[in-house]
């Protein structure tokens, strides 16, 4: 355990400095004293029933005495300090994102399983939850990508800038918009608007939201004929009711959201460039659930209720599933399983299979990856396989071009993946 390779030069961060930007969270374990806790990494971790260090000896009967380590590694190619997990000859193996490996580079939101203990890798967030929320908020989560998005949105809201929320379907854009409304300290109501059905009653609608916040969900669907009217309201801060010739001043705050790429809509002429500039003074990208695996089990337990027991098999299935419909799907699964007191893998598998024929979003959907079985070297020790060019390209596409995750998939160093990419002329830029 610790830092491997030689120390970086003075111009680079030291191992301890850079490693503190990494942390891990125990999201499930038979050792309940660890569940939900975060551990910042100084020089790495040792995992096992007889381990010492921040986690200490883990009370998990499926662990070996020294089961695995998480090391801080100097990557000379990328000039950065990375994390690497290694199986230390354990009896039951080490798994990264559901795949058994002996050695793997780790990236944020990847899941490391040792025994029945599940650990999610993350970066240290730039802000703490207590700095953002009071106890009344319904937004839940502690992952760095979630908290960083919240910090960005709060900064814009406090400054009075109009916030545009970007995110896939089901990430919780309306709930997030309510938080922005709260951060802006509006005295009036929060008024969500179904943009696709918005007609000529814009003045009446906006008038009812005076001193409050209007939330335009799926703003990309705003009819072309309504766009100049909304633009005028944003420019003049007044509306003219139907039948009147006199404008009425309004104190409105606007929050918008979409899962569309608005610059493309602007280029296509379906969305006004000047309106886009007005509603997108601050752009906040809301992370999909697959990038928030450190929050996933906690969120599911919140939806399912504290009395529902989650087995290791269910947790494994939940953490390796893509969740293409994000938090909305997570909440639906919890509701579908209401009444089941102990959840197993097959409970989730059955619901996923039931909806398998439905069209899922292409963004973030899992792609089947063919993994060559691990081979054995001359001395009898297992070694990672060498994938075919097609297998490597398939894996890269499944991981959206993330080389670190692809390296983890095959139990290889990321530098080897880059060498194969160059050797086999794989266009990594087009995959990303």
**Could you tell me the CATH number of the domain that includes residue 148?**
3.40.50.300
What is the enclosing helix (H) or strand (E) of 45?
A: strand 44-47
191 and 255 in a common domain = yes
pLDDT for 33: 96
Asked if residue 362 is part of any domain, the answer here is: no
Q: Is the pLDDT of residue 432 over 80?
A: no
- pLDDT per residue over 79-115, tens digit each? 677 899 999 999 999 999 999 999 999 999 999 999 9
Is 361 contained in some domain?
no
- Identify the pLDDT of residue 385: 59
CB 248 within 8 A of CB 238: yes
In a domain, 88, yes or no: yes
Residue 208 is predicted with a pLDDT of: 82
pLDDT band at 147 (very low <50, low <70, confident <90, very high): very high
Mean pLDDT score, 287-295: 96
Tell me the mean pLDDT in the region 376-396.
65
Query: Which pLDDT score is estimated for 427?
Result: 77
Return the pLDDT at 340.
95
The pLDDT assigned to 53 comes to: 86
Contacts of 309 (CB under 8 A, 6+ apart): 341, 342, 343
Listed residue (308, 287, 286, 281) closest to 297, CA to CA? 308
- Do 335 and 192 lie in a common domain? no
**pLDDT at position 135:** 67
Do 143 and 258 have their domain in common? Answer: yes
274 falls within a domain: yes
Q: Please state the three-class secondary structure of 158-186 as a single string.
A: HCCCCEEEECCCCCCHHHHHHHHHHHCCC
Who's near 24: CB < 8 A, 6+ residues apart?
Answer: 38, 39, 41, 45, 70, 112, 119, 120, 121, 122
Whole-number Å distance between alpha carbons of 394 and 116 = 29
The answer on pLDDT for 344 being more than 90 is yes
Residues 146 and 275 in one domain: yes
pLDDT band at residue 274 using 50, 70 and 90 as cut-offs: very high
Same domain, 308 and 388: no
Query: Which structure tokens are listed for 256?
Result: 């918008």
Say what the pTM is.
Answer: 0.78
User: Could you tell me what percent of the chain has a pLDDT over 70?
Assistant: 85
Q: Is the pLDDT of residue 382 over 70?
A: no
Q: What total of structural domains would you count in the chain?
A: 4
Q: Rounded CA gap, 96 and 120, in Å? A: 10
Beta strands 253-258; 163-166: pairing state: parallel
Percent of the chain residues past pLDDT 90, beyond the cut:
57
The pLDDT value recorded for residue 176 is 96
pLDDT value of residue 417? 83
Shared domain for 348 and 277, answered yes or no, is no
Average pLDDT over residues 403-431: 78
In this structure, is residue 346 part of a structural domain?
A: yes
Give the confidence band of 168 by pLDDT, cuts at 50, 70, 90: very high
- The answer as to whether 359 is a domain residue is no
- Picking from 81, 102, 124, the residue at the C-terminal end of a domain is 124
Cα-based distances in Å from 59 to 24, 33, 36, 137, 267: 18, 9, 15, 34, 58
- pLDDT in the model for residue 4: 53
Whether 223 and 346 map to the same domain: the answer is: no
At 245, the pLDDT band (50, 70, 90 cuts) reads low
For the range 144-153, what are the long-range contacts, defined as Cβ-Cβ under 8 Å and sequence gap of 24 or more? 144/108, 145/108, 145/109, 145/287, 145/291, 145/292, 146/287, 146/292, 146/295, 149/284, 149/285, 149/286, 149/287, 150/179, 151/126, 151/127, 152/282, 152/284, 153/179, 153/180, 153/183, 153/282, 153/284
Answer yes or no: is 292 within a domain: no
Q: Which of 124, 157, 181 is the last residue of a domain?
A: 124
So what's the pLDDT on residue 372?
37
Structural domain including 32 reads 1-124
Query: How many CB atoms are closer than 10 A to CB 176?
Result: 23
Question: Does residue 163 share a domain with residue 63?
Answer: no
pLDDT of 312 over the 90 cut: yes
What is the domain-level CATH number for residue 337?
Answer: 1.10.8.60
> Tell me, what's the pLDDT at 243?
62
- Residue 104 CA to residue 121 CA, distance in Å, equals 12
290 within some domain? no
Same domain, 151 and 277: yes
Single out the residue in 285, 309, 337 at which a domain terminates: 285
Of residues 337 and 352, the one with the higher pLDDT is: 337
Nearest to 420, CA basis, from 101, 396, 366: 396
């Amino acid at each position: 355990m610790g830092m491997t390779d030689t120390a970086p030069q003075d111009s680079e961060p030291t191992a301890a400095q850079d490693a503190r930007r990494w942390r891990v969270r125990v999201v499930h374990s038979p050792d309940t004293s660890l569940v939900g806790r975060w551990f910042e990494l100084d020089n790495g971790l040792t995992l096992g029933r007889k381990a010492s260090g921040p986690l200490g000896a883990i009370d998990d009967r499926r662990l070996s005495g020294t089961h695995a380590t998480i090391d801080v590694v100097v990557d000379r190619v990328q000039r950065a300090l990375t994390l690497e997990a290694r199986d230390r000859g354990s009896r039951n193996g080490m798994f990264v994102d559901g795949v058994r490996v002996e050695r793997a580079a780790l990236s944020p939101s990847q899941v490391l399983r040792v025994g029945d203990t599940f650990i999610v890798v993350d970066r240290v967030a730039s802000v703490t939850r207590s700095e953002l929320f009071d106890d009344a908020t319904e937004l839940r989560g502690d992952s760095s990508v979630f908290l960083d998005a919240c910090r960005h949105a709060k900064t814009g809201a406090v400054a009075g800038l109009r916030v545009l929320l970007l995110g896939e379907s089901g990430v919780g854009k309306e709930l997030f918009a309510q938080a922005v409304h709260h951060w802006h300290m509006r005295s009036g109501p929060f008024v969500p608007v179904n943009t696709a059905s918005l007609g000529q009653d814009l003045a009446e609608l906006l008038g009812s939201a005076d001193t409050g916040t209007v939330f335009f969900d799926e703003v990309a669907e705003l009819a072309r004929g309504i766009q100049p009217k909304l633009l005028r309201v944003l420019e003049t801060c007044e509306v003219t009711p139907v039948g009147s010739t006199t404008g009425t001043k309004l104190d409105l705050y606007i929050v918008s959201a979409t899962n569309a790429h608005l610059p493309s809509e602007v280029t296509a002429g379906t969305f006004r460039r000047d309106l886009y500039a007005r509603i997108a003074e601050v752009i906040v990208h809301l992370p999909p659930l697959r990038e928030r695996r450190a929050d996933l089990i906690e969120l599911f337990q919140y939806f399912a209720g504290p009395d529902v027991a989650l087995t290791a098999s269910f947790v494994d299935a939940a953490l390796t599933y893509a969740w293409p419909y994000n938090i909305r799907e997570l909440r639906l699964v919890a509701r579908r399983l209401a009444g089941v007191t102990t959840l197993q893998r097959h409970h989730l598998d059955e619901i996923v299979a039931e909806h398998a024929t439905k069209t899922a979003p292409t963004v973030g959907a899992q792609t089947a990856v063919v993994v060559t079985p691990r081979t054995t070297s001359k001395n009898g020790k297992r070694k990672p396989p060498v994938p075919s060019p097609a297998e490597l390209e398939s894996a890269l596409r499944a991981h959206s071009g993330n080389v670190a995750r692809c390296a983890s998939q095959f139990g290889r160093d990321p530098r080897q993946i880059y060498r194969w990419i160059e050797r086999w002329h794989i266009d990594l830029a087009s995959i990303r």
